[in-house]
Amino acid sequence: MLSRRGVPLAVCVLVLRVFRSRTSVHKRLAEIVIDAKLAGREQVVRAARLAEEQRIPLIAVLVRNDGIDELALVAAIRRQVRVPLIDPALVEHDPEALRELPQEVCRRLGVMPLVISSYDTGSRVLQLAMADPTDTMAVAEVEHITGCQVENHLMPLSAIEELVQKAYRAFVTEVMRRERIEGAQPVPSAPAQVHDTHRLVVPGMVADAAPELSELPELDAAAPSPPGTVPFHRIVDEASLELRHRALLELLVQKNIISESEYEEQIRLLMKRHGGDH
């Protein structure tokens, strides 16, 4: 059985269970919205069903369809989730980070890649702006696509959508320009700043103290639809669903997030629950 995003449901259940136990994200978005009295329980349930049907993030339905104030929602998330808040006006586009994640994925998940860094150990870390940093499935999908460990940051949904549009349009334009210049050398991106503690400093990161919401820049809620761009060819696009499933499972096992036996046990439970229909 597959989830709405094409990921095996057994893997989804185990990832959610482990992610909740290992991170500072304890509350999901639905709980945060209800606790902050931004919407009633029945309204959130309806929004969740619509998000599931349309295969879009819950936060997109809450903001666009239900008209929940976006800044109030950001403030509520900020109080419950210990992740940095990013000022959209100060974000600088990192070509290496944009190259790792297709634009379609960013628009679908409500995320924006900020900076990617590599360490001597061979590990890579992707700083990711998210409209909903409690969306553990989005984090798992991005880590699966990029092969990077994700460190998420908070940013309003409309700001992410506007940045994704501008960043990828500029990126594609630059790539096409370079292809027309014979013998052009690639322009190296500015290296990420790393403190001695190996904490990556992302341009635009707001200090640990929560800022006043009035200091955030105006958000363009009616940003125009992005123009068509030439999609980048990725090896993963050629892989079958079965191969992607196996790759994701092996990655989770290698990272000691789940084991083969836990995975098989979860499949047995789901088959029993659904009468073997998978």
> Phi then psi for 113, rounded to 5 degrees?
-70, 130
CB–CB of 105/160 below 8 Å? no
Say what the pLDDT of residue 208 is.
52
With left for phi above 0 and alpha for psi between -120 and 50, is residue 61 left, alpha or beta?
alpha
For 207-240, write each residue's pLDDT tens digit.
554 444 444 555 444 444 444 444 444 555 566 6
Sign of the C-alpha dihedral computed for residues 249, 253, 256 and 259 taken in this order: positive
**What whole-number distance in Å separates Cα of residue 176 and Cα of residue 70?**
36
- pTM: predicted TM-score of the whole model, two decimal places: 0.58
Q: What is the pLDDT of residues 28-80, one digit of tens each?
A: 999 999 999 999 999 999 999 999 999 899 999 999 999 999 999 999 999 99
- Counting every residue written for the chain, the total comes to 278
In this model, does residue 97 exceed pLDDT 60? Answer: yes
Query: Domains of the chain, with CATH numbers?
Result: 83-258 (3.30.300.160)
> What pLDDT does 263 receive?
73
Residues above pLDDT 70, as percent of the chain = 60
Give one word for 89, left, alpha or beta, with left for phi > 0 and alpha for psi -120 to 50: alpha
213 in Cβ contact with 69 (< 8 Å): no
Per-residue tokens: 204: 């635009």
The separation between CA 251 and the C-alpha centre of its own chain, rounded to angstroms, equals 18
- The torsion region of residue 183 among left (phi > 0), alpha (psi -120 to 50) and beta comes to left
Instruction: Report pLDDT for 31.
Output: 94
